[in-house]
Amino acid sequence: MEELVKLQLNYFNSNATKPVGFRITQLKKLESLIKSNEELLNEALRKDYGKGKFETFLTELYVVYDEIKVALQNLEEWTKIKPIETNLLNAPAKSYIMPEPLGVSLVIGPWNYPYQLTLGPVVGALAAGCTVILKPSELTVHSSSLITKLINENFDSQYFTAVEGAIPETTALLEQKFDVIFFTGSVSVGKIVYQAAAKHLTPVILELGGKSPTIFMQDSNLDITVKRMLWAKFLNSGQTCIAPDYVYVHKSIEEKFLQKVSEEMQAMDYKLENDNYVRIINERNTSRVTSLIDKQKVYIGGNYNIAERFIEPTILTNVTWNDKVMQEEIFGPVLPILTFDNLDDVIAEIKQRPKPLALYLFTQDENIKQKVMSEVSFGGGCINEAVMHIANGELPFGGVGESGIGNYHGEAGFRAFSHYKSILDKEVTPDPDVKYSPYTDEKLEMLKSVVA
């Protein structure tokens, strides 16, 4: 690992990655590599946990393609030097901000979206002009192996390489000094990454998780919004960091809401054989999620098979914050429903807990939209939609507080892997001596007049 980082540092210091033309060529190469291997990528994910090709394209490849498209369209603009006004004290001079790549980057990917959440950050790193060491998740054996093979057979390892392995390999990587580390995963592992980075004062981007709330107000258009919410929840069998984790429904519409949930669940017909549902990643996670199901509160579903890594889409009702399902991020196909009378009470409950990665609000009331958006802190989210903010490549994506540090997508991804140098370029002409010794009361008054 030490030698690999050293080789990439030497390559970066050669300035080979800095020309915009080089970066564009590499991004196009990555795009072509993915497109020419779509069938293999589909098959690998199907082997890992049964994801169908439609969902693989929609939730994995589309997002990566969009990231590359946005970068290619805007990279020349992003890399431009930005002129800044020079203040009177520094005149005559030019001031400007100059973006530069941070250097050698480490990208640690998760298992739940092994293409989107692994290659998406890589696009930002390559666009910024960094070298990349990629560590895909060991839990998605087939897709991680394929990603590693494709990258290592098509890119110079001094520039972009992938390293397979589990905890020992990741630990060895984290012992090295990087210029930036990008991690997507759990809060607990995020803390380990953060501590390792701190030893070298390495900047980090942490994309974590948490319990993302969903709120249905009494004016919600249930015919449209329930379908959107359920799709977002059970996509990837709930194994999505920004999935609705729990739902608050206004008591006045609870009956209608549950009836619409029943209708939509029946219409969607989530089954493995329908290619609209996937297995849980492993038996350990299957056991953990099923332990959150209180059989006395099951409204829909509740069945599971741990050996088959299968959990039926499950809706729980009559849930309170005392229930086990409300004590941790679910990260699976279980959706608890809570009710409320007063929106202020809901906001207070959310604010008592760690800041969530996402929040979803269903209402047509502009005052309520403004109230929730301004009073509750969260990473990002949607109004009258769920999850889909991640599909807009122009919207920065990231968490706040325990749900993450920093963001990416589009220009935010370029910025995440860049440093912006501030430069003052002074003309070589005689200076007013106001800043030079000897200091006098007259000079002090002159300085004060400049800022007055």
Q: Which residues are catalytic?
A: 207, 241
Tokens 């099923």, residue? 290
> Cα–Cα distance between 188 and 445 in angstroms, integer?
55
In single-letter form, the type of residue at position 95 comes to: S
- Cis peptide leading into 92, omega within 30 of 0? yes
Distance of CA 38 to the CA centre of its chain: 23
Tokens of 361: 């609000």
- β-bridge mates for residue 99, sequence order: 420
HSE toward the beta carbon, residue 67, CA cutoff 13 A: 32
Where is 160: in which H helix or E strand?
strand 160-162
- From 345, 114, 370, 60, select the one nearest 213 (Cα to Cα): 345
Where is 155: in which H helix or E strand?
none
Cβ contacts of 314 within 8 Å, gap of 6 or more: 293, 298, 300, 301, 302, 333, 334, 335
> Cα–Cα distance between 184 and 407 in angstroms, integer?
11
Asked if 154 and 29 count as a contact pair (C-beta separation under 8 A), the reply is: yes
- From 109, 104, 149, 122, select the one nearest 31 (Cα to Cα): 122
Asked if 216 and 155 count as a contact pair (C-beta separation under 8 A), the reply is: no
Vertex 419 angle, CA 175 and 125, to 5°: 65
Tokens 């769920």, residue? 386
Asked if 406 and 398 count as a contact pair (C-beta separation under 8 A), the reply is: yes
Asked if 250 and 216 count as a contact pair (C-beta separation under 8 A), the reply is: yes
DSSP state of 59: I
Where is 214: in which H helix or E strand?
strand 213-216
> CA-based Rg of the chain, rounded to a whole angstrom?
25
> Cα–Cα distance between 166 and 148 in angstroms, integer?
14
